[in-house]
Structure 1
Amino acid sequence: MNRLNHLFATKKDNLLSIYYTAGYPALNTTVDIAEALEKAGADFLEIGFPYSDPVADGPTIQNSSQQALDNGMTLNVLFEQLKDLRKRVTIPILLMGYVNPIVQYGVERFCKKAAEVGVDGIIVPDLPMYEYESMYAKYFIDNNLSNIFLVTPQTTPERITKIDELSNSFIYLLSSSSITGGSLNVSDSIEAYYVRVKAMGLKNPTIIGFGISDSATFTKACQYANGAIVGSKFVKLLETENYLEQIPAFINSIRR
């Protein structure tokens, strides 16, 4: 049982995850931000590793990714930064990014390094399910890493069932098929999608992402899933001065 499994076994509702980009706003801030978020009450974290063509990300996260690259962030640098992660942070940590840099690094090597530094799961939005299953699943399983699959409003029930079979921690429900940084607008069709997924009785918990930015959208998402992910709104906070000092108030504003 990794930290993600333990979290979902002990807390079923209103789980809050925060996304931010490694190496942003400054190269060496990655673990400091993680520690501050845990102390402020985040349940788990998603640390993005930057890529030059982040197709699923809106302008806020795209800009943070480019700045992180300009700062010198690479996978080698990130793993070096995370080697002391577990001396300071105890909550589950996921790495999130695109398949190209992972393949360039070497998938088996990537999974081994992630496990060595205490990472619990990986989110790779552009990794095809068949490719994961046929080529890479063994590396994830051997290193006790959860692979997190994404579901959109257009995902068929058959595919969702297959994702549930392949998953061992949670399923990431996108609030829309658009890019990150939008607003959670629960239309009748989106609500029907959430209700449909919830009614499937999946064995894995579900977490909603894209468009979660405040208490109202977090609360709304938690009506349909086990929790939600805040990304762009938090990355914007990192643009301000004294952002570490503002993190407790930010988390409180989401949970209130």
Structure 2
Amino acid sequence: MKTKLIGYFSIGYPDVERSMEIADSYVKSGIDIIEIGFPCDNPYLDNEYIGNTLKCAYNNFKDADAVFDAVDELLKRHADTPVILLMYDHIIRDYVGVDKFIERASKSGIKDIILVGSEDESVKDTLISNGFNVSCYITYGLPDNEIESARNSNAFIYLQAKPDGNVRPGCETLAQCVKYLRDKGIKNPIYAGVGISTPDDVKMIAEAKAEGCFIGSALLKKTGDIKQLEEYVKSLKDARDSAEI
């Protein structure tokens, strides 16, 4: 099993056509899965850099239908590349509308959703009941309530790859975290991310036997130079492959 490299970008940033070119460059460079950030007016859970790309993208579309039209164009251009859609809960509720989101996302063929900023479980439950795979996030400290939620998830598990506070005893390394989740009955794919930027980071995730690795800001910042981007992705893939020999 090769750990899949998952590249993030905000559709519509810095403008719609340029965001398409960014996705093109990801696929050309060898990124395995594209994570599409849906424009957001208040991306309060993202870092400043990613948040600003989402806010800029939000101002580049006249409405949610225009965003989905861009998503459809992207999917048409890269029909063979899996995609994950990152959505803020309040954007589904207040900007798109739950029913409209289900209609447009279903028509687009979107299945995998990262839902963040949920005020309750209602949107998540509605999406799952309508056939979407909604991921579950687990922080590095592996709290019991998050593990229980993940055990009931129908999608991949998004695991924080680096500690920023509490650490469960015996789970000081990412590999130990992944093993702990497997021992607790988590069978869904585990994708690790947050703060991933170097080949050593990717190697750590591959050695931990996580099925996916999210790369966000570090990748997006290299999209101004296609040669630099390709070299960077190659270094990540080489590190991944060296861990899996």
Task: State how far apart, in whole Å, the 1-side matches of 2:77 and 2:128 are.
Answer: 29
Alignment of 1:1-256 (within 5 A): 12-72=1-61, 74-89=63-78, 90-104=80-94, 105-127=96-118, 130-132=121-123, 134-139=125-130, 141=131, 145-157=132-144, 159-167=146-154, 169-175=155-161, 189=172, 191=174, 192-224=176-208, 225-238=210-223, 240=224, 243-256=225-238
Unaligned runs of 5+ in 1: 1-11, 179-186
% of aligned pairs identical?
Answer: 25
State the shift of 1:170 in Å: 1.2
State the shift of 1:81 in Å: 1.3
Local SS of the residue matching 1:166? coil
Task: State how far apart, in whole Å, the 1-side matches of 2:178 and 2:228 are.
Answer: 32
Higher RCO structure (Cα 8 Å, ≥6 apart)? 1
Q: Measured at CA, do residues 28 and 222 of structure 1 come closer, stay the same or move farther in structure 2, by a change above 3 Å?
A: same
Per-residue CA deviation, residues 96-134 of structure 1 (Å, 9 max, x unaligned), is: 021111112112221221122232311112225733465
State the shift of 1:176 in Å: 5.0
TM-score, normalised with respect to structure 1: 0.78
Unaligned runs of 5+ in 2: 165-169, 239-245
Task: State how far apart, in whole Å, the 2-side matches of 1:121 and 1:249 are.
Answer: 29
Q: How many residues align?
A: 229
State the shift of 1:175 in Å: 2.5
TM-score, normalised with respect to structure 2: 0.81
Q: Measured at CA, do residues 112 and 26 of structure 1 come closer, stay the same or move farther in structure 2, by a change above 3 Å?
A: same
Task: State how far apart, in whole Å, the 2-side matches of 1:65 and 1:78 are.
Answer: 12
Per-residue CA deviation, residues 12-44 of structure 1 (Å, 9 max, x unaligned), is: 332110111111122223333223322321111
State the shift of 1:202 in Å: 1.8
